[in-house]
């Protein structure tokens, strides 16, 4: 897309973002997860994306596999979705991508066209509706963090240990920067989602190298840079880089645990609005000290279906949105679409996908194999003794990044239990013809989705406080 003669790039101006006309811009967005980077709790599969895809390919053959996943990608985000978001007042979509859509491990440094075509399609759709896109590198070769959402089959972030993986990430960003360098509807590049360099020695120099490589090709687009340890630590940075937003993620324990009260105690700690604000101020200290824009790249509750508990979760959300508004922070909620746990929209309970995989998803919940918002009570008899054993035998060990309990949970339900489930998930695709596979994919089309209306109302109310935005009609006239 060639930039409009009347519009330039989103850029930083001191502690503020400005739009292509030089007007103040507060980004209020949703994360498009589960699309070009599939996550287990988002779309119902176990373990990580690449294991799941390999199993489904073996189960139904390459031709059906290609047709199913192409249909899934085509239906997951369309003009209907962008129109829905624009009507809600959303002005940006952070698009999570997995490197595997652009490069093959067995043929590195060769750009594949299918991923670019899909990304172009969605960036263009968003532009037609006056919505900015942020390109978010959610998974790089070797995995930049320890969990499923970087398509990690293990619990090790090998990206930081092998320069080959780092070289490939730099190369891929060079390709993307060259491709999108003139696109004014791309608000910026989010270089690495939630990096977790345990040594804390590699991530800073790597960021410096990556920024230099991108700037040599594209000097215009804003860079969004997550802090270390899952976008929570910023002590790796010295002076800020020009036209850069230092992005924090602001998940609150009170909005993630299935049990607890708000305001009140969750897992032994007290949470109220003051607690939330203190955590936000801690995570944005670098940005406030250096006078760079405040932006929360991910946050949001995991809902339970229990009306009383969900009312408390909405209160957490209300308090966080209020804090962001009071401090002038942009935000991007996790997330837009899923199978019912957290999304603004979800494939409907009566759709072919939800009905076919309902028992399987229930089994995943019973085994607590999804790392995001599980109820561990049904497997506590297995996990608790191991956690106690590790603490007793290795009292000085505190597994990075979130301590021994999370370390044990990652190794046991999220890997040991989850990986054998991959084959059971793939088996549910066996014997389906093309029309049945297409019906599964179309379950995620917006026309077949349900809307989490209390969440939509809150996002719309918050977005109403934003600066004026283009109407879809105005946006279309600019992109033609």
pLDDT at 305: 93
Tell me the domains of the chain and their CATH numbers: 22-466 (3.20.20.80)
pLDDT at 6: 63
For residues 375 and 362, give the distance between their C-alpha atoms in angstroms, rounded to a whole number: 12
**Full pLDDT tens readout for the chain, 480 residues:** 334 446 799 999 999 999 999 999 999 999 999 999 999 999 999 999 999 999 999 999 999 999 999 999 999 999 999 999 999 999 999 999 999 999 999 999 999 989 999 999 999 999 999 999 999 999 999 999 999 999 999 999 999 999 999 999 999 999 999 999 999 999 999 999 999 999 999 999 999 999 999 999 999 999 999 999 999 999 999 999 999 999 999 999 999 978 889 999 998 899 999 999 999 999 999 999 999 999 999 999 999 999 999 999 999 999 999 999 999 999 999 999 999 999 999 999 999 999 999 999 999 999 999 989 899 999 999 999 999 999 999 999 999 999 999 999 999 999 999 999 999 999 999 999 999 999 999 999 999 999 999 999 999 999 888 544 444 444 545 554
Q: State the pTM of this model.
A: 0.95
pLDDT at 113: 86
For residues 152 and 402, give the distance between their C-alpha atoms in angstroms, rounded to a whole number: 17
User: Any idea which residues carry the catalytic annotation?
Assistant: 194, 298
pLDDT at 464: 87
């Amino acid at each position: 897309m060639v930039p409009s003669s009347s519009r330039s790039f989103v850029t930083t101006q001191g502690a503020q973002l400005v739009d292509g006309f030089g007007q103040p811009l507060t980004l209020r967005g949703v994360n498009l997860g589960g699309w070009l980077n599939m996550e287990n709790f988002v779309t119902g599969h176990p373990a990580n994306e690449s294991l799941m895809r390999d199993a489904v390919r073996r189960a139904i053959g390459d031709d059906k596999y290609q047709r199913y996943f192409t249909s899934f990608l085509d239906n997951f985000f369309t003009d209907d979705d962008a129109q829905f978001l624009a009507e809600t007042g959303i002005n940006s979509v952070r698009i999570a991508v997995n490197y595997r859509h652009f490069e093959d491990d067995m043929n590195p440094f060769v750009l594949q066209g299918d991923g670019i075509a899909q990304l172009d399609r969605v960036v263009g759709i968003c532009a037609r509706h006056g919505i900015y896109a942020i390109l978010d590198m959610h998974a790089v070769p070797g995995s930049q963090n320890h969990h499923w959402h970087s398509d990690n089959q293990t619990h090790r972030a090998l990206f930081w240990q092998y320069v080959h993986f780092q070289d490939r990430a730099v190369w891929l960003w060079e390709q993307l920067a060259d491709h999108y360098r003139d696109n004014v509807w791309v608000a910026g590049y989010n270089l690495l989602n939630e990096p977790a360099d345990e040594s804390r020695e590699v991530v800073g120099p790597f960021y410096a190298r990556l920024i230099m490589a991108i700037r040599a090709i594209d000097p215009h687009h804003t860079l969004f840079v997550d802090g270390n340890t899952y976008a929570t630590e910023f002590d790796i940075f010295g002076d800020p880089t020009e036209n850069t937003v230092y992005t924090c993620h602001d998940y609150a324990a009170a909005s993630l645990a299935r049990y607890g009260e708000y305001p009140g105690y969750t897992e032994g700690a007290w949470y109220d609005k003051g607690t939330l604000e203190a955590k936000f101020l801690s995570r944005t200290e670098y940005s406030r000290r250096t006078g760079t824009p405040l932006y929360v790249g991910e946050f949001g509750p995991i809902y339970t279906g229990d009306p009383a508990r969900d009312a408390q979760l909405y209160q957490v959300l209300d308090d966080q949105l209020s804090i962001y508004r009071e401090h002038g922070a942009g935000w991007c909620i996790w997330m837009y679409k899923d199978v019912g746990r957290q999304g603004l929209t979800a494939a409907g309970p009566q759709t072919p996908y939800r009905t076919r995989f309902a028992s399987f998803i229930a089994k995943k919940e019973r085994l607590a194999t999804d790392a995001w918002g599980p109820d561990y009570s049904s497997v506590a008899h297995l996990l608790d003794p191991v956690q106690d054993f590790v603490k007793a035998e290795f009292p000085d060990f505190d597994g990075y990044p979130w301590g021994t309990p999370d370390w044990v949970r990652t190794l046991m339900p999220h890997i040991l239990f989850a990986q054998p489930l991959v084959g059971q998930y793939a088996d549910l695709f066996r014997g389906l013809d093309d029309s049945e596979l297409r019906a599964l994919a179309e379950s995620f089309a917006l026309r077949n989705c349900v809307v989490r209306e209390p969440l939509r109302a809150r996002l719309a109310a918050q977005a109403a406080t934003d600066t004026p935005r283009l109407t879809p009609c105005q946006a279309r006239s600019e992109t033609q």
